[in-house]
């Protein structure tokens, strides 16, 4: 009778410890902001800096229309975008030949159409259809509770910040309705223009140049909790199988505990296939290590208990 009571108290103890720590980790992940990506470090164009860059800098309006994301691999941070980028500018301040030589940081333009030009009063409106493959550095610490922000950074390396300022309008990103059917939902967008400082010589901080850029930001939200449920249910079931082994006789309890521990180790290989490749630990890693550690303690307890009875 005492042995059964002792095993029951031990089972309750392990269960309370596991549930408390897992609940704390999940609560922290859900309640806090789930997008940990920081925007690129760009310098804004402010009136005080206009004089440094030169009074002749052309002010070019810019916007983006997104038709589709043919590739949207959030686990690897690889994306491709079909879109239309447009500029509106004064032709007396900047030439179309220089303006059309836009590029993307950490991106490769796969296709680009010829320009579509219209004159609007004394301004030129020009648009380009394009397809770009790009990467965006993501933070996976809260996986699988994570949302993400991805950044597409347009630059013009031909013109310096003395010659060109991008000026995005409010609502500078428009998206096709078909994007609502994507696995990840784009809940918000943002556009910010400025310059990026490039130090040309490592030993001399005065040898720098400023590149005009526009940052297109997409705030992405995970659509549901199905992945979270399918990920954690096997782990929790295997752990409670280990807990259940505490109420059996010593020999059978050891076998059940060993089976649960072995299944957890094998399940790790499955988790590796659906987890992002990152050098830092994730919430999933922390919970898994906790469950594995507690299951191992239960296994050691059974070995000790069996040794006492032999």
Residue 37 lies in a domain: no
What value does the mean pLDDT take over residues 159-171?
84
C-beta neighbour count of 3 within 10 angstroms = 11
Tell me the per-residue pLDDT of 33-86, one tens digit each, with 9 for 90 and over. Answer: 567 888 888 877 655 444 444 456 888 999 999 999 999 999 889 999 999 999
Residues 22 and 102 in one domain: no
Beta bridge partners of 112: 130
Choose between 18 and 280: higher pLDDT: 280
Range scoring the smallest mean pLDDT among 33-37, 48-52, 162-166, 268-272: 48-52
Same domain, 182 and 301: no
Tell me if 138 is assigned to some domain.
yes
Question: Which ranges of the chain does DSSP label H, i.e. alpha helix?
Answer: 2-31, 47-53, 96-99, 226-244, 250-274, 283-309
Cα distances from 172 to residues 45, 58, 84, 228, in angstroms, run 17, 19, 12, 34
Total count of domains within the chain: 2
State the chain's mean pLDDT as an integer: 82
What pLDDT, on a 0 to 100 scale, did the predictor assign at position 102? Answer: 94
Distance CA 190, CA 88 (A): 19
Task: Clarify whether residues 211 and 231 are in a common domain.
Answer: no
Angle at 196 between CA 190 and CA 200, to 5 degrees: 160
- This model's pTM is above 0.85: no
The CA–CA distances, whole Å, from 233 to 48, 226, 287 equal 57, 11, 12
Q: How far is CA 127 from CA 10, 62, 158, in A?
A: 69, 10, 18
Which residue has better confidence, 61 or 145? Answer: 61
Domain range enclosing 232: 2-31+226-309
In a domain, 40, yes or no: no
| Distance of alpha carbon 30 from alpha carbon 225, whole angstroms | 12
Tell me the per-residue pLDDT of 179-214, one tens digit each, with 9 for 90 and over.
665 778 888 899 999 988 876 666 666 667 888 999
What's the Cα-to-Cα distance from 121 to each of 98, 100, 299, rounded to whole Å? 21, 21, 80
| 212 lies in the same domain as 84 | yes
What six digits make up the tokens of 210? 């400023």
Residues 134 and 209 placed together within one structural domain of the fold: yes
**DSSP annotation of 182:** S
* 55 plus 23 within the same structural domain: no
Among 188, 221, 254, the domain boundary falls at 221
């Amino acid at each position: 009778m005492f042995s059964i009571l002792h095993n029951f108290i031990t089972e309750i103890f392990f269960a309370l410890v596991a549930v408390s720590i897992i609940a704390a980790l999940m609560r922290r992940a859900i309640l806090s902001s789930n997008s940990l990506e920081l925007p690129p470090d760009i310098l804004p164009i402010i009136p005080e800096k206009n004089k440094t860059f030169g009074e002749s800098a052309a002010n070019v309006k810019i916007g983006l229309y997104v038709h589709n994301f043919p590739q949207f691999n959030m686990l690897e941070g690889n994306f491709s975008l079909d879109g239309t980028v447009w500029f509106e500018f004064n032709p007396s301040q900047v030439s179309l030949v220089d303006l059309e030589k836009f590029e993307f940081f950490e991106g490769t333009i796969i296709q680009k159409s010829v320009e579509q030009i219209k004159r609007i009063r004394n301004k030129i409106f020009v648009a380009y259809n394009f397809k770009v493959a790009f990467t965006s550095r993501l933070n996976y610490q809260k996986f699988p509770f994570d949302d993400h922000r991805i950044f597409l950074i347009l630059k013009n390396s031909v013109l310096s910040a003395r010659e060109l300022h991008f000026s995005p309008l409010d609502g500078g990103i428009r998206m096709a309705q078909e994007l609502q059917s994507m696995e990840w939902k784009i809940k918000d967008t943002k556009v910010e223009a400025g310059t990026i400082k490039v130090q040309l010589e490592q030993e001399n901080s005065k040898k720098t140049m400023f590149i005009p850029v526009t940052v297109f930001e997409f705030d992405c939200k995970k659509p549901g909790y199905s992945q979270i449920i399918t990920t954690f249910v096997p782990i929790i079931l295997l752990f409670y199988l280990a807990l259940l082994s505490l109420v059996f006789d010593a020999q059978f309890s050891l076998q059940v505990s060993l089976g649960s521990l072995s299944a957890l180790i094998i399940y790790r290989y499955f988790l590796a296939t659906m987890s992002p490749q990152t050098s830092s630990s994730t919430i999933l890693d922390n919970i898994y290590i906790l469950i594995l550690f507690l299951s191992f303690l239960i296994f050691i307890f059974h070995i000790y208990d069996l040794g006492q009875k032999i």
